[in-house]
Structure 1
């Protein structure tokens, strides 16, 4: 099953707000519909957002020429922290002078390349882990960086899939990922479908999993990698990196080259998305805080480069903690 695809002139995508209980597909025919799906996280995950951005440009230049510039601007800004979205928009838009068919062809190439690239980085990540830890390797992960965050394979979970194929994966500890529970809802769903043994833990327990020696490595994805090697990922990643450093466990980031942003010199230059306060004070329909409670719903955090043992992409291995820069 592909998380996002192009079919009969429309974007078809898994509606990730329904998981794990309701597997339903969205059919998206306009850029406005796509922006809405991205903002409410029906479509999410950095590589998938890159594909969505490119396909959204194809929709805009084909069907909405009078509103094209406005709609593309709104699409590019729908999730400001994840650089892949703007990357996909800009790459497809660069073919505009060659006509709508060329724009669509570029978008479809981005879609197909995502599968190839993620398989390549997953193999590289598994190779590197096996050089630094004896299998079977027990791994901790945060948020969702599996097939649901990409087209069909996955970045961080792609690495785990390769380890499993090689008989080198032990147990996987999954952080719940408050407040929208991408770990609890999405990662556990994917791991169950793959038949990978896993245990769900609350976010606050994540560092203790490493301190107790239950996991020997951390593998996560990324929404942006700055030019100095700082990693911007789902909030809660930074504490895991601190705990991994204390425990002497490798901290591996699996992300395609499109996630590396040379225009951002360091993590503090990246806009961190602040989301709706209701996400913090509600669990489902249940209110869990008194009325009027102030909130700060940061969607991402910055892990400094010196805490990142390695970054694997489809092309290379980067070791920020040793001073290597993307």
Structure 2
């Protein structure tokens, strides 16, 4: 396998390494990953996360196992095991489908490796296209807002929504970014803030419940978020709290964009009600775990409801920023998303 380098995934000397995102921003530790069980754990523990990154990491692991001599049948079984690791992110399913097609080839080892490498390089290219289309929407001096983490940590390239912000900054548009802390896992506070500091993007970190006040004061000009799955009608799932932002944006007449590659579109999913929503551990709401250790601020047995994602209806979206361009309400209503894959 080639040496590939991303912000959170890399291959070196035919080995696969994952940056442990649960230790950021204070520790940067690369973990070797050699087995399917290890990859499933990394995905479920959010040590690797972000819809594109999850799909790419799983694909590279299958390619690695193929090089280690695993049989075609074993690799097919492993693909199905990986498919179940996180139910909402459709990139994982799409990438595994590509790998399964590669495993049908006569020389399935070389074909699987080439497929995984192509998925990595393709995502880098898709991210760049999304950044260009999204940055073209940003006007000089605008105050932007984003939710969760959608940068290089979540992809192989520059990211989705944060990739847009990154390019707008590099273009000298003098933007400012509000970063939602993103409860309960604090991926905005831990990860997006860290990426912004690395890139020199001017940002301020806020608690999620501060966004409405900023909008009312006219301090938010445009919102960019990512997605883990976009339904055929334009409804989309993203980190829980995104729906609230969309409702607030509609009320305050602020443009609201979802940024994602075509690999995040699920043409077989008719609308948001059919998107499976992952339920996660109650302890993520009762407290927090990270490089600082574990803290519990709620009663240890407090009943908890913890969906990882919510669904934003297409009616609240100003535009879908894809690698192929920006789709508006009319285009999506006419079925443009179903023709992307």
- Range of TM-score over shorter length: over 0.9
Instruction: Quote the residue 2:175 is aligned against.
Output: 170
Q: CA deviation at 1:312?
A: 1.1
Partners of 2:174 and 2:274 lie apart in 1 by 36
Instruction: Quote the residue 1:86 is aligned against.
Output: 93
SS in 2 for 1:298: coil
Q: 2:228 aligns with which of 203, 223, 229?
A: 223
Instruction: Quote the residue 2:82 is aligned against.
Output: 75
* Preserved contact between residue 76 and residue 100 of structure 2 (Cα < 8 Å): no
SS in 2 for 1:174: strand
Is the counterpart of residue 4 in structure 1 residue 13 in structure 2? no
Question: Residues 242 and 169 from structure 1, CA distance in 2 versus in 1: closer, same or farther, beyond 3 angstroms?
Answer: farther
* Preserved contact between residue 279 and residue 307 of structure 2 (Cα < 8 Å): yes
Moved over 4 A (4+): none
Is the counterpart of residue 26 in structure 1 residue 17 in structure 2? no
Instruction: Quote the residue 1:237 is aligned against.
Output: 242
Q: CA deviation at 1:211?
A: 2.2
Is the counterpart of residue 49 in structure 1 residue 54 in structure 2? yes
Is the counterpart of residue 292 in structure 1 residue 301 in structure 2? yes
Partners of 1:273 and 1:81 lie apart in 2 by 6
Partners of 2:140 and 2:284 lie apart in 1 by 39
Q: 1:302 aligns with which of 296, 304, 311?
A: 311
Is the counterpart of residue 263 in structure 1 residue 268 in structure 2? yes
* Preserved contact between residue 56 and residue 89 of structure 1 (Cα < 8 Å): no
* Preserved contact between residue 79 and residue 100 of structure 2 (Cα < 8 Å): no
Deviation string, structure 1 residues 60-115 (Cα, Å, up to 9, x no partner) = 44443364343221101101000001111111111112211101101101101111
1:240-251 superposed matches below 5 A: 240-251=245-256
Partners of 2:141 and 2:300 lie apart in 1 by 48
Q: CA deviation at 1:321?
A: 7.0
Gaps of 5+ in 2: none
Question: Residues 166 and 305 from structure 1, CA distance in 2 versus in 1: closer, same or farther, beyond 3 angstroms?
Answer: same
* Preserved contact between residue 52 and residue 88 of structure 1 (Cα < 8 Å): no
Question: Greater shift after overlay, 192-201 or 62-71?
Answer: 62-71
Is the counterpart of residue 117 in structure 1 residue 126 in structure 2? yes
* Preserved contact between residue 34 and residue 65 of structure 2 (Cα < 8 Å): no
Quote the RMSD (CA, aligned, Å): 1.5
Deviation string, structure 1 residues 30-63 (Cα, Å, up to 9, x no partner) = 1221111111001100111121122132234444
1:113-262 superposed matches below 5 A: 113-127=122-136, 129-130=137-138, 134-262=139-267
* Preserved contact between residue 232 and residue 301 of structure 1 (Cα < 8 Å): yes
Partners of 2:145 and 2:308 lie apart in 1 by 20
Partners of 2:217 and 2:197 lie apart in 1 by 25
Q: CA deviation at 1:255?
A: 0.5
SS in 1 for 2:22: coil
> TM-score, normalized by length of structure 1?
0.95
Gaps of 5+ in 1: none
Q: Give the total of aligned pairs.
A: 322
Question: Residues 321 and 190 from structure 1, CA distance in 2 versus in 1: closer, same or farther, beyond 3 angstroms?
Answer: farther
* Preserved contact between residue 55 and residue 104 of structure 1 (Cα < 8 Å): yes
Partners of 1:68 and 1:106 lie apart in 2 by 14
Q: 2:321 aligns with which of 312, 318, 324?
A: 312
